[in-house]
Amino acid sequence: MKTPTREEVVPVAGDLDQECAWKNFGGKSRDEARVLFADDGLNKCEDLMHMGCHAFCFYVLAAIDYLLSDDSRNDEEMISGFVGVCEVRLEHDAEAIRPSLGDIHRALVHLRKRGDIYSDCYADVPSRVDALLAKMGAEPRAPIDGGQPSG
């Protein structure tokens, strides 16, 4: 999958949230984006929330790369932000992000099995992950590791 174009990150001209996503992610490779999630995951999750669906399918893989690493262990803000993004994108864009559903499912299963310890502020994260997994079903519904988005 190639790096998303400006039009794929900002499909709605003038959308300030999408423009911010372009400012932070525009032209970045998957590896470069992974570093962004490691450095400031919660804010970069906000960018994932707003960017176009094709760009989401590319950059969510960088977030997942970070989440699957030991570097993310107990990164409550990033994990909670990722879960929030998944909740919203699955509610509103499930069909458009179908190419990334298998990878999202794999990341959620990993987070649930890893058993991170959450402070009181983030104590709801495991139950939110469980709800997402129940909504998605037992099996991933798309190719693992970045199937090609359709648009």
The C-alpha atoms of residue 115 and residue 118 are separated, in whole angstroms, by: 9
Of 72, 70, 80, the closest CA to residue 121 belongs to 80
% of the chain at pLDDT higher than 70: 91
Q: Is the pLDDT of residue 147 over 90?
A: no
Which stretch of 54-58, 91-95, 134-138, 142-146 has the lowest confidence by average pLDDT? 142-146
Instruction: Write down the mean pLDDT value for the chain.
Output: 89
Map tokens 């058993």 to a residue.
115
pTM attached to this predicted model? 0.88
**Section 67-79 average pLDDT:** 92
- Look at the chain and count its residues: 151
**Section 15-40 average pLDDT:** 96
Q: What is the pLDDT of residues 100-141, one digit of tens each?
A: 999 999 999 999 888 777 888 898 999 999 999 999 986 544
Map tokens 């174009």 to a residue.
5
Q: Is the CA virtual torsion 67, 82, 149, 33 positive or negative?
A: negative
pLDDT in the model for residue 11: 96
